[in-house]
Amino acid sequence: MPRPDLNLLFTLDVLLQEGSVARAARRLKLSPSAMSRSLARLRKATGDPLLVRAGRGLVASPRAMELRDSVSQLVHAAESALRPADKLDLAHLERTFTIRASEGFVENFGTLLLARVSREAPGVRLHFLHKLDKTSGPLRDGSVDLETGVIDKAIGPEVRAQALFRDRYVGAVRVGHPLARGKVTATRYAAAAHVHVARRDNEKAHVDDALAELGLKRQVTTIVGGYSAALALARESDLVATVHERHTGKLFAGMHTFPLPLPIPPFTVSLLWHPRLDGDPAHRWLRGCVRAACAA
């Protein structure tokens, strides 16, 4: 069955309102003959005369009377769908946003983000998920609204990204640790006992590649799944935790930190989202809130 011409709904709506081919033509800025042709197409599509001559005017058929309200509602719904979104009413917005981020994001930026969200949109709830991998599946399937991370080949090409801040790797040790005194060289750093953060077994870090180029290798004695655990162990032992400086700043408060004595460049942490949410006013507002929290 051929698909009906939905433009005829707008013509039918005006014809039923005006009850006149001439007046409907003027309203739609068409010639009377063009409107008559549209009425003929409508009669063919519906199998009903719709408007029947009565004296010098036209009256609606019973079928047209049945259609009047439903056609008007359809036209109104179509016009609303094609109209720009209404101004965002943050005071009455009720919505839950899911944000997937690397460990340390909530501790370092969550307080500022929540303060702004609760102040501007008290009906909004944030659901934070720990980022266990770099795949774009959760953004693609809609289970995650926003994500933070470093852009690499694991990120889908369609994903939108906006830079949040620059970060770098630093070493973190307890106060009084041998590396807290004197210059930290690559040799001293490699020789210390390390706690390694890895999402998967046998996952290497950038520091291992940089050390290998110098003919060195870390002495990894413990492997954990996140920065929080790594820093907790390093705080109470002689282990060295290698972490992201800005992402984990509050986690290593009170510890001694030092720049890595290795040629590892800083990296950019970005805000990631799926393009289908580009035009969503509420999502756009939340992206601004995250950027502001990270900038502060």
List, for residues 4-45, the tens digit of each pLDDT value. 778 888 888 888 888 888 888 888 888 989 888 988 898 888
pLDDT the model gives residue 279 = 84
Overall domain count for the chain: 3
State pTM to two decimals.
0.68
Among candidates 274, 279, 290, 250, which has minimal Cα distance to 128?
290
Residues 249 and 272 in one domain: no
pLDDT the model gives residue 202 = 67
pLDDT the model gives residue 53 = 83
- Strand ranges, E, within the chain: 51-54, 57-60, 95-101, 124-130, 146-149, 160-167, 169-173, 193-197, 219-224, 240-244, 256-259, 267-273
CA 93 to chain CA centroid, Å, is 17
Residues 183 and 102 in one domain: no
181 falls within a domain? yes
87 falls within a domain? no
* Dist. CA 174–CA 210, nearest whole Å: 24
Residues 150 and 174 in one domain: no
Residues 23 and 53 in one domain: yes
89 falls within a domain? no
pLDDT the model gives residue 127 = 95
pLDDT the model gives residue 84 = 61
pLDDT the model gives residue 138 = 86
pLDDT the model gives residue 201 = 65
pLDDT the model gives residue 2 = 66
Residues 259 and 232 in one domain: yes
Residues 220 and 238 in one domain: yes
pLDDT the model gives residue 32 = 87
What parts of the chain have a pLDDT lower than 50? none
Parent domain of 47 = 7-81
Concatenating the DSSP letter of every residue in 57-76 gives: EEEE-HHHHHHHHHHHHHHH
